[in-house]
Structure 1
Amino acid sequence: MSMNQFSNGITKEIGGLQNLAHLSLRHNKLQGSIPDSVSNMVGLKFRNLSHNSILGTIPKSLEKLQNLKYRRGKRAPQQADSSSTKKRERISYYEYLHATDDLSESNLIGSSSFGSVYKGILKSGTAVAVKVFNLQLDVVFKSFDTECEVLRSLRHRNHVKVINSCSNLDFKALVLEYMPRDYGLKGLVSTKCDIYSYGVMLLETFTRRKSNEFEGALSLKQWVSYSLLDALMDVVDANLLTTTGKDLQKELDVVASIM
């Protein structure tokens, strides 16, 4: 049940799941403390409650769960949330300039109207991508603050990690994890790549299928194309179709236009 929007606290009735072996509630909005009744889950081998707003200490009674593989003294819970609690190292504006060779064109990865992204090497030897915002645009000031706020709270395995940020009157930048080759198989950067990737994401959303599920010559795009005219019902996620009769056909027409 990870990566949902579950809130409130963990109910004490969870202790009745005595045969449950694997419990994952990570990346939710759970609050409160871990109930003592969790100690009754004698079959539990693995649990992950990271990236929530759970308070208090881990109940002492959990020590009797002999099958639990997630317990390694007091270190495990700290490791689970290390990305959110680790204090960010302060890095100066001048180090960013030095790391990117004064924002030289040879280190330029990409650019847009909002700014440019440069590859850099910090003193520690860490490779980073420095996203420098174009301060000549008034909208950038609001965009920078908004992006900082959003990226600060986002943690996902498919999302590039934000390492740090740098901001003064003349310079605003986000420091991101550097991912070589973050453009398909050929490593070519273009607007067409972005449009195609967005299209694939839409297909995944409306079919509830992943592009990597297909093998050989068949791809998600081809599977949808073959079915689009005569068998749209076979490819669209049934959970999206909530009506029948004429209204159903209207929904199918909308989905078909998106596809």
Structure 2
Amino acid sequence: MSNLIWLDMGGNVFTGKIPDALSQLRKLQVLFLDGNNLHGPMPDNLCNLVNLYRLGLDNNQLSQQLPTCLGNLTSLREFYLDNNSLTSTIPSTLWTNKEIQKMDLSYNFLKGSLAPEIGNVKGMRELYLSGNQFSGEIPSTIGNLMDLENIIISNNQLHGPIPESFGNLISLEKLDLSKNNLSGVIPKSLEKLEDLVYFNISFNELSGEIPNRGPFKNLTPDSFIGNIELCGASQFKVKPCKDNTTLSSSRPRVLKYILPSMALIVSVAIIIFYLVKCHNRNAPLPTQSSSPIAFNFKRISYYEVLNATNKFGEQNLIDKGSIGSVYKGIFSDGMIAAIKVFNLDLEGANKSFDTECQILSNIRHRNLVKVISSCSNLDLKALVLEYMPNGNLTKWLFSSNYFLNIARRLEIMMDVACALEYLHHGHPSPIVHCDLNPNNVLLDEDMIAHVADFGIAKLFTEDQRVLMTKTLGTIGYMAPEYGSAGLLSPMVDVYSYGIMLMEIFTKKKPVDDMFVGEFTMRKWVFESFPDAIMQIVDVDIVNAVEDNIQAKASCFRSVMELALECTADLPEERLNMKDVLTRLKKIKTESC
């Protein structure tokens, strides 16, 4: 398979060593062998894959040292080697690739110091080195990595001060240096990090005053516990500083044995690890580098989720889906949120969580559901989402207690079109939702629609016309090429949108009993168009506008014509979402 560019064999039970034959796939751009039982060294000949963009070998049993030739892979942007048994030091040649964006070497047995050359990797956005045996001081050159967003180096043996140069990391969102042997003061320069939302320096030997400006105003005591010589504001639950002056970092520290009561504090500390680490494992190659649009995390622990949902009580259950359940959560500070809990007993739940987390961390739009936080541990994977008090669109269409007039239905579908236009055209790497249906359209208190549920969404490049997938969406809404062959493109969402247009104005589901065999919803609408179109429209709308029925007939015809164009059998014959939105605006202005 010499022309292969993508190979994903992750999540199996493969054993043995990584075969040398892989090095012959010279065009390979993506290689994932994660989540297996592979052992032995990482082969040097993988460096022959000069076009490799993403490499995932994490969660195996790989041992020995990292190949010194990794730095020669100049196309490599992301690689994941966490949760293996790698030993020795990080070869200095690794830092010669200045364009690496994501690197995860956490939870191995790597040792030695972090080389100053780490500051050469100007493209670095995420660096994970936790759970190793690194020693020495943190190199100040890390402060050169201006695009760095996440740096997690907890659970090592690092000593010395936190570099003052960390104040230059203006894009930094997460910084975790906990459980090391760091000493000295917390640099005041960190007050400049306006985007910093997660900060953890617990269980070190730091001293002096805790800064109280910038991001420090929103931090909790959990960020600082285990540093007995820190002082500062009462909100941090440390001793007050003497005369409001910063204690000298050279002041002798009084060594104390851990009191039995520290066990309680430790139990609180381990709740907060880092919120979640979402790998873009199944996303095709982006055409250009782009930093994710970050959402503002509110740190939420497992126990807060448990209490907010009354221990996932039935009275808090909002909905049950194919991959998990959604609960209403009321937190101690009064915040109300929807908590999507993934059923970890189901195959693919972990992957769905990772996918949804990754997608939602890269997008922001008024018509997409906003993520507040996430909670991830061995027992729970959950997303904490913006609460939508008016529920989903299905409830408003098919419950007798609710009614949507023509204008409101059109507004909702325009909201959905805006969301899809953004996903398809407003993002460097287009996103296909893959499962658009009324259950995944949620309505806020102002009846503004928000698209939700990105558990099977896919990211891919503009020039990648079709992507094969084995994860399918909801029956009745899937495009023909998607349902029969797993062929995926943005046109799949356009088809689903067209079906939704038909459904919202006819009040018929595409899986209604009347649709049997080749007689589908689309054929039903097509055979009624244009002269008999009023015979298939939702009777509730017709009755509500009886005095102006002729004027509204033109509106219905225009909407159904657009729906038919969106659901053409061939994807190349469908409109794109930019054109769909333009047409909808015209229909609203001229017909409805």
TM range (shorter): 0.3 to 0.5
Normalised to the residue count of structure 2, the TM-score between the two structures is: 0.22
Report 1 or 2 for greater relative contact order, CA contacts < 8 Å, sequence distance ≥ 6.
1
Normalised to the residue count of structure 1, the TM-score between the two structures is: 0.46
Higher Cα Rg, which structure: 2
More helix by share: 1
